[in-house]
Chain A
């Protein structure tokens, strides 16, 4: 059949035509803009409005930032240099840089110490934060870091923190040795060794070795104070929060109710009232004559505050675990401590990570509240000594913008880390 018509077909194409490019409106930037910016008429209106908003924001801030003065000794000098032009007076930041970071009473020759402690914080935190990618041996430094940081920031002889560190090491050794005989015994043994070590440290801690100039707690200030309060309170409140959450889940009614009352009470009142307690009330409940650092009192109250919130987050994690996990642990014959340590808590804590980080970020932001009880943290420094000085009275935007930026960098960084960690720990097979 094909033969008969073969001569009637003049031409048969045996190769494909080259693809012609898509229409211009359907490619690249044009298509993207059409799809994402000008899909419908209301959408286009929104886009134009957004562009307008962004324009106004930039028009208001950009000249101010770009035209900023970084070298001046007072706001009057700034204004003279600017001579009526728009521009920020960022000289206040360079002039009072150390005050903003360390407070106005920290001895100026010793600024390298908190700065070093701050840098080492990253080294200490890294093996915990990126535990999959860094050698476990680095955790040793994390263990040493609190004592090192204490010695660097507060100064004094290295002997007391060193002895305390040795005490913790001894307690850990005792715990490991006794662990075979049960978790409770091991904890008690470890605590016993620790107490003995602390008493020993107190009695022979007067030896002066590697002495740094001592800095009193009340001399801490600026962003340093925020960092101290933030890191100390968060790290202390996580173990306390775990204990409270477990207590709240407990079958023992008395323990459960103690935890419930504590958590609900703390969560029911604003942090400021707790800071008032630290400031004016706590002294009434201590033995007469004891003088307690305000910073320690504040740390106690903020830690109590944070641990109640963390307890609720972890309780959520515990409740999210299927009942079968508890039953499986029981059926393996694990006792309570083993079941919690090996089965329940690793899973519950993993679920709770985003919540814990949220609490941590919130807590770090809340450390600015100490400025209300006249401690000179970053906000306290700005509102107090710096804005009150005749040189810089009236430089609001630069200072508060700087404070906001500093907090933004830290908090945004931490929340990005938590999102990364969530993806990292995600073992779902989806």
Chain B
């Protein structure tokens, strides 16, 4: 007969710190912490020594001083007498602008290319894989520079649009591609235009509400409401009516040739176009692969099962394939958006005034505040990526397979 007893509590010996697995992890962590603190202290000490030797100190007062440089494309009021902080804000807004534009167009390119890569058509399939491989395997910096070169060196100068028989002409009389940027008509928001905008926003909400109601009705009673043309009608009819009721408050200001340059309209600088287009076409190739993988991830059995239930092809796509494919597509899609935001820092190569070019470029060079500028720059990008990851986590939790 054996009696189980608790092993006798051993008294603690120093050698147990290394040999006993219960204590060993504490030893390792302690060593790691000490090493980390040591490294940080060493670097900090060097920093203090170097700053003292250079007669510098860490301060952010330079942000309040006048920047003294011009930025040609700004979303907010900015002059060369504005502060470095304003310049940084201009940069932030420009970064967000190009990132937003590129995300939207990259998604469009990517979805089209990804779907077409699965087409039955051999030629289209090959063409699309050519596009994907060509853009995935060449650095985005080269694409940005190539497109910037097209914009600045190949497109005609504004003067080419002059004369009775000009070398270049405006597309539809309203859009001009010149080597100083692209001129497009600019909407002028007149009196009462807000009403139209609000109407439009309300109609967008209305469309969603209607589709929701149709779905609910379908699930509850089995009655199928048409969704295609009513959605279109809800989206546009009220806004157009309101537009005329308010007396056409929104008008377009067309660019016109005056003197050596275009006047009026909205000038979109070549750097913005180059960056926007290059980022979207480059990232579009990656998104195409994600889309293709997502669609392939839904097994054929799902389509067949849906078909055997008697669903029509369109509804199979909408109700069975897409919801499952989106769960695979969206997480990498969001990380591609993050990549676009980070790659937009390449703006500095073509002179687009994003945050890297203002705060990390000119401001840094003018003030010599390298540490502060780079720190703020990193903080900005870090905040953006943490924000996007947070959104992604929320989404992942929402669409996670509910397992029992």
Contacts and interface: CB of A to CB of B under 8 A. Distances in A.
Interface of A: 35-37, 39, 43, 46-47, 50-51, 53-54, 251-255, 258, 264-265, 267-273, 276-277, 280-281, 283-288, 361, 365-366, 368-369, 371-372, 379, 383, 394, 396, 400, 403-404, 407-408, 411-412, 415
Contacts of A287: 46, 49
B46 A269 contact: no
B356 interface: yes
Interface in B358-404: 360, 364, 370-371, 374, 377-378, 381-382, 384-386
B17 interface: no
Contact of B348 (A272, A277, A361): A272
Contacts of A271: 342
Interface of B: 25, 28-29, 32-33, 36, 43, 46-47, 49-51, 53, 119-124, 127, 133-134, 136-143, 145-146, 149, 153, 342-343, 345-346, 348-349, 356, 360, 364, 370-371, 374, 377-378, 381-382, 384-386
A272 B371 CA distance: 15
A273 B378 contact: yes
Contacts, number: 156
B381 A269 contact: yes
A280 B370 contact: yes
Contacts of A276: 360, 364, 370, 374, 377
B121 A285 contact: no
A412 B137 contact: yes
A217 B127 CA distance: 43
B94 to A, nearest CB: 15
A400 B213 CA distance: 54
B146 A400 contact: yes
A371 B286 CA distance: 24
Nearest to B35: A258
Contacts of A277: 374
A378 to B, nearest CB: 9
Given A255-B32, A277-B374, A281-B374, A404 B346 contact: no
A95 B80 CA distance: 44
A396 B153 CA distance: 9
14 contacts: A39-B121, A46-B124, A254-B29, A265-B378, A269-B382, A269-B385, A273-B377, A280-B374, A286-B46, A288-B49, A371-B141, A404-B142, A411-B138, A415-B137
A79 B33 CA distance: 66
Interface centre among B32, B142, B149, B386 (most CB of A within 10 A): B142
A369 B370 CA distance: 19
Nearest to A272: B345
Nearest to A265: B382
Nearest to A286: B46
* Ranked 4 nearest A-B pairs via Cβ: A36-B122, A411-B137, A268-B385, A365-B139
A413 B140 CA distance: 18
A329 to B, nearest CB: 15
B356 A270 contact: yes
A318 B227 CA distance: 46
Given A252-B29, A254-B33, A272-B345, A366 B139 contact: yes
B137 A383 contact: no
Contacts of A365: 137-140
Interface centre among A35, A270, A415 (most CB of B within 10 A): A270
B142 A403 contact: yes
Contacts of B50: 283-286, 288
A407 B138 contact: yes
Contacts of B378: 265, 268-269, 273
Contacts of B133: 408, 412
Given A273-B374, A286-B46, A408-B137, A37 B142 contact: no
B274 to A, nearest CB: 13
A372 B348 contact: yes
A282 to B, nearest CB: 10
Given A272-B346, A365-B140, 15 more contacts: A37-B123, A47-B124, A254-B29, A255-B32, A264-B386, A268-B381, A269-B377, A280-B370, A281-B371, A287-B49, A366-B139, A369-B141, A371-B349, A396-B153, A404-B146
Contacts of A286: 46, 50
Contacts of B46: 284-288
A368 B121 contact: no
Nearest to A36: B122
A283 B378 CA distance: 18
Contact of B47 (A50, A53, A285, A412): A285
Interface centre among A47, A273, A283, A365 (most CB of B within 10 A): A273
A47 B122 CA distance: 9
A340 B137 CA distance: 34
